[in-house]
Amino acid sequence: MSAPLLAFDRVAIHLGGREILSPTSFEVGRGEFVCIVGASGCGKTTLLRAASGLVTPTGGTVRRDGVPVTQPSREVAFVFQDYGRALLPWRTVQGNISLALEAAGVPKAERAARIADVLSKVGLAAHAHKFPAQLSGGMQQRVQIARCLAQAPQLLLMDEPFGALDALTRHGLQDEVARLVQEQGLTVLFVTHDLEEAIYLGDRVIALQADPGPGRPSLARMLDVPLSRPRDQLSTKEQPAFLQLRRELFGFIEQGHA
């Protein structure tokens, strides 16, 4: 059997003299969509940064494809919540996407076709020459996602990517990302504090708890999501399995039951 794409093996992280993540182990298989939920400040962003090699654990090992992660790699793409700061305001949409290709050393002659391809995938083909400030928040976030797709990453990390968007835009983007992930066979680790979003998108949901106490792991729950795909904003969320998962996570996160 091949190694999982991403493996956290008893990963602990201390920052500023404080234990942010206590020994946490889990795996993400190829093509899997895993969501991480937990209250603000429980270490979700820190966990993603460790997955990308931006933070070095103080204990345990993060492995990607069986190899310890020691630094950021182009094989891993990161989508930030703050699309406004992730995009360069003086570059057009296609200029922003070109950045990822330039960084990857893609020859100039190939770039235009690759840019057109990812823009059509996120429904922005008609907006290639606009600047970020001319686009809505949802469209700017789609540009950031397109830039990550242009990188053709092995692993996509997303940190509350829809947290700053209104509910309608958020639902539209959830469905778009779910479709892209299925079509492209992407592997995703997705952080959110929105329990319904985690269940709606994930094959699995991992719940972290803040300050678990001495000797106790940050990882408090790992739930499989047995909901068929493609999912639907109305009918999926009415299914008994969805409601049962929501109840289980809600009791844990909102009421602090470990």
Ligand X SMILES: Nc1ncnc2c1ncn2[C@@H]1O[C@H](COP(=O)(O)OP(=O)(O)O)[C@@H](O)[C@H]1O
Interface positions with Mg ion (CB under 5 A): 44-45
Quick one: 98 or 192, whose CB is closer to ligand X? 192
* Minimum separation from the CB atom of position 150 to ligand X (A): 26
For residues 25 and 244, which CB has a smaller minimum distance to ligand X in the complex? 25
Binder of ligand X out of 42, 51, 118, 146 (CB under 6 A): 42
Amino acid letter for position 91: R
Q: What's the min distance (Å) between Cβ of 56 and ligand X? A: 12
Question: By CB under 6 A, is residue 79 in contact with ligand X?
Answer: no
Position 230 contacts ligand X (CB under 6 A): no
Q: Between residues 40 and 228, which has the closer beta carbon with respect to ligand X? A: 40
Query: Which phi and psi (to 5°) does residue 250 adopt?
Result: -60, -45
H helix intervals, 104-194: 108-121, 137-150, 167-184
Nearest distance from C-beta of residue 229 to Mg ion, angstroms: 27
Tell me: does residue 41 bind ligand X (CB under 6 A).
Answer: yes
Q: Which is nearer to Mg ion, 32 or 159 (CB)?
A: 159
* Cβ-based neighbours of 208, under 8 Å, separated by 6 or more: 21, 24, 36, 37, 38, 42, 43, 44, 47, 218, 219, 220
User: In this structure, is the dihedral angle defined by the CA atoms of residues 194, 195, 201 and 207, taken in order, positive or negative?
Assistant: positive
What's the rounded Cα separation, in Å, for the pair 23 and 44? Answer: 14
Region near ligand X per CB under 6 A, out of 13-21, 26-34, 165-173, 219-227: 13-21
- The single residue among 4, 43, 132, 202 that binds ligand X, judged by CB under 6 A, is 43
Give the 3-state secondary structure of 181-247.
Answer: HHHHCCEEEEECCCHHHHHHHCCEEEEECCCCCCCCCCEEEEEECCCCCCCCCCHHHHCHHHHHHHH
Minimum CB distance to ligand X, residue 98 (Å): 30
And the tokens for 15? 């920052």
Binding site for ligand X (CB under 6 A): 15-16, 20, 38, 40-46
